[in-house]
Amino acid sequence: MASSGLLAFFQVQVPGAAEHRVTDIFKPLATPAAAERDVAWFTIAVTTLIFIVVAGLIVYTIVRFRRRPGDDLHQEPPQVYGSNQIELAWTVIPILIVFVLIGVTARVVWSVENASPPPSTLHLKVIGHQWWWEVQYPDYGITTANEIHVPFSADGKEATYLELSSADVAHSFWVPQLSGKTDLIPNRLNYMWIDPRQGGVYVGNCAEYCGTQHANMLLRVVAEDRSAFQAWAQGQQKALASSDVSAGRAAFESLSCINCHVIKGTKAIGKFGPDLSHLASRSTLAAGMITNTPENLKKWINDPQEVKPGCLMPSLKLGGPELDQLVSYLGSLK
Ligand code: CUA
């Protein structure tokens, strides 16, 4: 009972749980993540060995020199004023260990940062916002949010390079099975790359405390084969126009939504919030918090503060037919 309650809790918090993807740094599915996993294991092995030696010596000392019946309680133990050999040993050995760890880590950092990209490389810009991810595809003219579609290849022939920046505070991009963390810092560009080896959805999150809803700044990388990726990109490039939701579109354009959101082909050209041109093609709302269903969308538009307290989307308090029209219009943006 308790465990199913816990499971339900996690499923609400992390919808990706249903996607058969473990966000586990020890199960890497991309080159940078694999290199980092190896150096993590090496570090864990070395530090475990140190722990065993130190803890073993402590236990030995406690047992060997414990108080025994018949000990003279007023007698001081033998006073030892240093040993050059021991002090040299416990100074030099840790220094050597630290240098080995530095060397191994530096080699991995260098090899990841200086890896030559394969011929087929996608370049993206990822911009951190409180509390969502903006994703731009400059070569395709696409802007989306929170869901990053990339091509994958089993033999590492497809890589995606990310240029990371922030619109407000420091964030950190982390998809554990694809790569380590890289910060998104205001007024600075950071870079990283990923090359998923399997198709599927990789769940990640912001890994740098960035305010109230930091924990709900989730992201997902959808790795598809080249042709599926191209089909997705072509779909995203279109501006959608559907006549049977024109009431919803009119409602949308009459509201303050247009000051913060873009919908291609409409009056909405605001840049503060996520681009909604293809909102219905995304699997979640509110940066991965809730699944993208009509009921959730309605709840979200009606009162974002209820769903994600502190988020920067105001409650419009619409209600009635206008709300339903908005939901069906946004739901049509596939
Ligand atoms: Cu963005 Cu934490």
- Reported as a single tens digit per residue, the pLDDT across 255-268 is 888 989 999 888 88
Q: Where in the chain is the domain with CATH 2.60.40.420?
A: 1-237, 247-331
Mean pLDDT of 42-47: 95
Judged against a pLDDT cut of 60, whether residue 280 lies above it is answered with: yes
Query: How far, in Å, from the CA of 173 to the mean position of ligand 1?
Result: 8
Judged against a pLDDT cut of 70, whether residue 2 lies above it is answered with: no
Mean pLDDT of 63-82: 85
Mean pLDDT of 111-140: 93
Query: How far, in Å, from the CA of 63 to the mean position of ligand 1?
Result: 49
Determine the CATH number of domain 247-331.
Answer: 2.60.40.420
Query: How far, in Å, from the CA of 310 to the mean position of ligand 1?
Result: 13
The rounded mean pLDDT for the chain is: 88
Higher pLDDT, 107 or 72: 107
Q: What lines the ligand 1 site, CB under 6 Å?
A: 128, 131, 171, 206, 208-210, 214, 217
Query: How far, in Å, from the CA of 1 to the mean position of ligand 1?
Result: 33
In the chain, the percentage of residues whose pLDDT exceeds 90 is 58
Instruction: Please identify, by atom number, the ligand 1 atom nearest to the C-alpha of residue 206.
Output: 2
Task: Say if residues 172 and 208 touch (Cβ distance below 8 Å).
Answer: yes
Give 285-307 pLDDT, tens digit per residue.
Answer: 999 888 999 999 998 999 899 88
3-class secondary structure, 288? coil
Strand ordering across the sheet containing 200-206: 147-151, 218-224, 200-206, 171-174, 182-184
Mean pLDDT of 190-215: 93
Q: From atom 1 of ligand 1, which residue's Cα is the shortest distance away?
A: 171
* CATH fourth-level superfamily of 1-237: Cupredoxins -  blue copper proteins (2.60.40.420)
pLDDT class of 133 with cuts at 50, 70, 90: very high
Amino acid at 135: V
What pLDDT does 156 receive? Answer: 84
Instruction: Please identify, by atom number, the ligand 1 atom nearest to the C-alpha of residue 207.
Output: 2
Query: How far, in Å, from the CA of 190 to the mean position of ligand 1?
Result: 16
What pLDDT does 5 receive? Answer: 43
Cα 140 to Cα 152: distance, rounded to the nearest angstrom: 17
Judged against a pLDDT cut of 80, whether residue 22 lies above it is answered with: no
Residues of 183-203 as b/e, b for ≥16 C-beta within 10 angstroms? bbbeeeebebbbbbbebbbbb
